[in-house]
Chains A and B, each alone.
Chain A
Amino acid sequence: MATGKAPQPTYAEITRDIAATLGNPGKGYYALLTTAVVLFLAGAITVLLEVRYGLGLAGYRTPVFWGVYITTFVFWVGIAHSGTLISAILYLFRSAWRTAVYRTAEAMTVFAVLTAGLFPLIHVGRMWYAYWLIPYPNQRQLWVNFKSPLIWDVFAVSTYLTVSTLFLMVGLIPDIASLRDKATGWRKKLYQATALGWRGTDQQWRHYTKAYMYMAALATPLVLSVHSVVSWDFAMAIVPGWHATIFAPYFVAGAIYSGVAMVITLLVPIRKVFKLERYIHEDHFENLSKLMLLTGMIVAYAYVTEYFIAWYSGNPFEQASFWNRAFGDYWWATWTMLICNGLLPLFLWSRKIRRSIPALFVLSLFVNLGMWFERFVIIVVSLSFEYEPYAMGHYSATWADWLVLSGSFGWFFMWFLLFAKNFPTVSITEVKEVIPMPRKGGAH
């Protein structure tokens, strides 16, 4: 479908251009990578300090027992979602435009889940016993409590990590193979290992496509299930502002919303740096932003519904809680969330903006910010204003919270940067699939 402003690339060019992205990195790349690693290390040291001295270093208090860490956990799980959506669901729907962007999205998914998975560990009081959340036979004859949504989380997140990783790897196989044949040195070894002996024979292709489709089918339900489960961490509790049936769809929509935003945030620089304008162009961004607009509207609707239900339920605790959100100590967080997620996406109704890459980039940043604050508002603000007036309390995050938060970004980008330099961020094979067959005797 790639409507060509640029002349149609040939197979050879595609392979060359994309393989070129794996060429020797420049200063900029190293600068980015170092920043990422430094941030990550700062976060890691903070966590070690908390293990030694206790979680008191972070801003937790009674009654706000969950804070920035769980907020960030939900944030990253959310980010992960669009990846699977774009690569799996759109694949099943045969929407060709995904080919250019799905690899980035998938990689993002894997690393986002990888990041999110750390937070439950960072957050618990006795990390060294976190394995007790895994049901396994032990001499103590103890078992886990399957009633607790946290146990569901354990399964949801670990499953998601496994499947999305597999999906990414499988998708990579043909590309890796074609790289393997050019690569030298340690990379060759890496590609040989990861290409799983791909030769590109008809039979392999037949199996491969089947397998890929099954994987896609397998991954699809996860898009809905994982974040639903995460949302139940809250919906299952009796905390005013949490205990709502709308949470699952609300969270899933929000997840995809933030995910797509993150995809844009990542694609724009990659496209520029790797000179992939010929493969990723406005059409792709426009489609992404349409998806963003859709999910954004769902999220905005959910906000409205929450307030409506709070009023309509006649439950004074619910009402007080939502009043406190909008006009209490944390009004600023709430309004940041409402503006970034509810108002700004309205710009996307204009085609001009949907096709303006700088505008989209800025917008996506705001959406990311807004979605982080959405979780902050749901978790912290609800907890700070619960049932017992005497026990209400104001939460303020500390350096430990912020360092771990930034550390998570460091960790995420570290992996992503490493990936981008060692594996094609745009699928060679699938891009080839969507361009018309080369004419006889054409350049090849």
Chain B
Amino acid sequence: MTDGMDRRKFLKVLGVTGGGTAALAGCSTDDVAKLIPYMVPVEDQIPGVATYYASTCRGCAAGCGVHVKVREGRAVKLEGNPEAPINRGKLCARSQASLQATYHPDRNRSAMMRQGEGLAPAEWEAALAEVATRLQAAPAGSVWFMHGTQTGSLDALIGEFVTAIGGRRLVFEAFAHEAVRHASRETFGRDEVPLYRFADAQYILSFGADFLETFMSPVEYTRGFADAHGYRDGRMAKYVHIEPRMSGTAMSADEWIAPTPGSEGTLALAMAQVIVERGLGRPPADARSLRAALASFTPDLAAQATDIDAATITRLAQEFAAGPSVALPGGIGTQHADAHRTAAAVNVLNYVAGNIGHTVEYGHGLRQGDGYATLREFTVAAEAGSIQVLLIHDANPVHASPSALNVSGALGHIPFVASFSRFQDETSAWAHVVLPDHDAMEQWNDWQPRAGVQMLLQPAMAPVFDTRQTGDVLLDLSRRMGRTPRQATYKEYVQARWADLQRTLGDRAPFDTFWRNALQRGGVWTEARPATVRLAAGATRVTNPAWAPTEGQLTLIAYPSSTFYDGRDAHVPWLQELPDPVTKMTWGSWVEIHPDTADRFGIMEGDVVQVTSAQGTVAVPAYLYPGLRPDVVAMPLGQGHTAYTRYATGVGVNTWSLLPGEAAVFGGAQHYVSVSLTRTSRHERLAKTEGRNRQLGRGIAQAVTLGGIAHGALDHPFHVAHAAPVPEREEHLLDEVAAAQRRATDYGPYALRNTRWGMTIDLSRCTGCNACVAACSAENNVPYIGAEQVRRGRAMQWIRIERYFEGGEHGEPLETRFVPMLCQHCGNAPCEPVCPVFAAYHTPDGLNGQVYNRCVGTRYCGNNCPYKVRYFNWYDMSEPGAPKFAWPDPMHWMLNPDVTVRSRGVMEKCTFCVQRIRGAQHRAATEGRALVDGEVRTACQQTCPADAITFGNMMDPEAQVTRTAADPRGYRVLEGLNTKPAVTYLMKVRHLEEA
């Protein structure tokens, strides 16, 4: 892009011309600013105007399409690609934060070779030569290539490469869902995870699948779930979650049923039995063949095993059979030694209810990884010394596998290890040569998440560091080893495959056209026809799974973190600071203990507890969580890295060190293990963002039941007890004041006259997934501040997901409610009159303006804000060199140039993405037209996978936001204070009969 000019200077310059990534320092005494033009103009780059490139997110295997927002040649934000079939314009929190990995200060900046103990930067030439010679020297069959899930071209290329050198490849994926695949093999003879179509379901039953968090394709499933379960004119699906722990997914359930750990399958079988016996549902003809197999699983027997009374089981069966319904087998969090039986049972249940082929589709080829068992083969081979050379790409088995397996020990036996890792992680620490791969933002590649869907990755910007696309490296290596691959570069390789693809698609257009269209859309996709599946022999052999902890011990559930996945995202500071959806914890690990259990052990929240399994012991603070069976404790995976950049190293504990090393029957790792707890004398203040988890009856998060709505619960909307009505006269006066205020600052063509920006948030759709939080941080340059500051209560996120518990005591069911809390942009904002310098004031278009450069920092506004959505810069997170600097070089390159980076001593808060509003207004004015509804989308709204947020001009009766706000479920938080918020929340609806 910029021929040979220093990138940093370039950025600085555009910081000036483009107007402003730099921190606001009263009057900057910088050295004289230089303006440096392009040598040759770049056709698709205009300084000050963003360019968008379609690409694909590589955070997990789901394959969500993204639009990379590029300013002055630098990617500054990711947004979902509205056309992409998987995510339809939505992204999860991990994807939104992923740019911090792209610009990570601890990325491998060049090729590296081992020198003594450590790795030292090296010339690519030397590194490649070394690897090539090692590969040639290695005897046949002694070269292994271990890599994470790959699809499409790179998968093919690796395949060719490995066959050529007569090696062996091993696809390592920590969360390979072996149990589900094994069960599908047994019951339907298909080795894959089915695709679940929530949108078509009226009854959703999850046997521990965290499909809103890590289960296969969270964004897609969240969208489908919200469409089905979101309340719309009197109808919504019912969602029942069955798991000993209330996971982040279960928090959205209408009914959470906690069976004895491991007994979910028995419940499923009992339900199937009821359905078959009573001939409910629309089962396929051959379902009767299961009758014998199921006969023994009567509800009464199941009741003993599952600790759920028979009546409930029967009810569930009837509700489920009434359909259209879908049942999901367990996720990683419930993958115990017998989990394949649970999955098989669930398959059978789906089958007898006639869901297979409707809400449960096979034939999409959803499978990732060879499974944990193969990793075991690897360690055995390594220890036997039969592996001479190991190539590792995009996999960190040393951290992301049970420590008992001792992968690191195995690596120690391998004479030569070459890693393509972008970061110094636990695995690449064993490497002799590191050939760092490009980041997804920097490379040509493609991705095939499932049959019929082909996504493309294109470099949205020049590489940040001296890294190389692994595809190119492989081609280079094979050339060095005396072969001549058909293509010179990996890009050509990809294009060649796409040419074939074009042929198979029967597209007659010239390839360039096909290619360009694909690039613009982000790929090509066709609707794949689901395979029709019939029962396999194994189906009739279903038995009830069993899991029993060692006598007198508790069952530990090691569940995957929705924030760090298997730990691969622990190096992203924004994610470290992202409150866990369930516990609201940041920067660390914890063990979830039921309050009663805690009492038994005399444990208080924050007490450091020793969790001991047969494999090991970790000391971790206790978090008291009512959403657990008392005989169960839970810990998230993903933390406790020993080497993974400055942000992840030494944070929390590695839960994998507690898990058994041996693979289960179905070839997967076991995530249930018996543990004992011992309290230590240490206590620590938890780094959680939540103050209190109960509403104190203040109606912050309001909910109604479906039955309630039917009985007219919405006719008398909830009012906080004290919400004294404002006297007519005063009401009138207040309105006059507001009107006068608007008159005083009427600014004609500047914006639509009498605009009032407003927002609605539908709590019946919100799943508390945090995507909005991450998106907001990325859009508005919100800094992270670290564990100690979070403990001090200084987290900066402009929007937070408040999580409140209802019930859960004295035998009433536990209910969770989420409220995304952001600046309410009040009509009578309490923060405005108290600001002595008008830094907080009301804009004519109804925003609650915050002028950073005017703010003196009295913080009176913060005290007077009843919603507590104003955040103060206690430290200088924006000054290079300052102790709390949040954007170490080159991370500052991702700062949004349209948003001021706040310096210490000023108050900041949600602005309704005013930069987007002004940008749109400028565009409209330049084109001589008025803004149209939907033209301005806030960052949180844009990314919300559940589509819970609408935004627009409340003064426009036609605007979607105005119509949504009129919903009878609408209410405003703390309405009784007469703050006249611009944010309307639509009550959560629980699918329950009683009013």
Contacts and interface: CB of A to CB of B under 8 A. Distances in A.
Given A61-B794, A316-B697, A383-B863, A389 B837 contact: no
Given A53-B875, A61-B794, A314 B722 contact: yes
B863 A237 contact: yes
Interface string A126-155: 101110110000000011110111110010
A159 to B, nearest CB: 17
Contacts of B862: 62-63, 65
B855 A126 contact: yes
Nearest to B695: A389
Contacts of A387: 698, 866-868, 974, 977
A420 interface: no
A142 to B, nearest CB: 7
Contacts of B838: 142-145
Contact of B857 (A126, A148, A236): A126
A62 B795 CA distance: 8
Nearest to A398: B792
Interface in B704-725: 720-722
Given A54-B874, A133-B856, A238-B864, A320 B904 contact: no
Contacts of B547: none
Contact of A150 (B693, B789, B834, B866): B834
A62 B860 contact: no
B10 interface: no
A316 B722 contact: yes
A125 B837 contact: no
B511 interface: no
A123 interface: yes
Contacts of B863: 63, 65-66, 237, 239, 383
B804 interface: yes
B858 A123 contact: yes
Contacts of A389: 691-696, 698, 700, 804
A150 B977 contact: no
Interface string B1-41: 00000000000000000000000001000000000000000
Nearest to A240: B866
Nearest to B803: A390
Contact of B794 (A62, A123, A236, A316): A62
A205 B346 CA distance: 105
Contacts of A391: 691, 802, 821, 867-868
Contacts of B871: 62
A402 interface: no
A388 B869 CA distance: 10
Interface in B157-188: none
B822 to A, nearest CB: 12
Interface in A100-124: 120, 123-124
Contacts of A221: none
A386 B866 CA distance: 7
A88 to B, nearest CB: 30
Contacts of B876: 53-54
B409 interface: no
Contacts of B800: 390
Nearest to B859: A65
Interface centre among A62, A237, A314 (most CB of B within 10 A): A62
Contact of B905 (A59, A64, A126, A314): A126
B722 A133 contact: no
Interface residues of B, number: 61
A315 B977 CA distance: 11
Contacts of A233: 860
Given A53-B876, A238-B830, A63 B905 contact: no
B48 interface: no
B868 A125 contact: no
Contacts of A237: 830, 834, 860, 863-864
Contacts of A129: 26, 856
Contact of A236 (B834, B870, B974): B834
A124 B858 contact: yes
A412 interface: no
Nearest to A123: B858
B833 interface: yes
A254 B695 CA distance: 35
A218 B113 CA distance: 83
A402 B484 CA distance: 74
Given A61-B794, A126-B905, A133-B856, A56 B835 contact: no
A102 to B, nearest CB: 35
A161 to B, nearest CB: 19
Given A65-B863, A123-B858, A126-B905, A390 B833 contact: no
A386 to B, nearest CB: 7
A123 B859 CA distance: 9
A136 to B, nearest CB: 12
A128 B795 CA distance: 25
Interface in A142-193: 142-145, 147-151, 154
A212 interface: no
Nearest to A384: B691
A55 B872 CA distance: 10
26 contacts: A53-B876, A53-B904, A56-B792, A60-B859, A62-B793, A63-B862, A125-B857, A125-B872, A126-B855, A126-B906, A144-B836, A149-B834, A233-B860, A237-B860, A237-B864, A238-B866, A239-B864, A316-B720, A387-B867, A388-B821, A388-B867, A389-B696, A390-B700, A390-B802, A392-B691, A393-B691
Given A150-B834, A238-B866, 20 more contacts: A54-B884, A64-B793, A66-B859, A125-B855, A125-B905, A133-B837, A147-B834, A148-B860, A150-B858, A237-B860, A237-B863, A237-B864, A238-B830, A320-B696, A387-B866, A388-B700, A389-B698, A391-B802, A392-B691, A392-B692
Interface of A: 53-56, 59-66, 120, 123-126, 128-130, 132-133, 142-145, 147-151, 154, 233, 236-239, 314-317, 320, 383, 386-394
- State the 6 A-B residue pairs at the shortest beta-carbon distance, nearest first: A125-B857, A125-B905, A56-B874, A391-B868, A392-B691, A61-B793
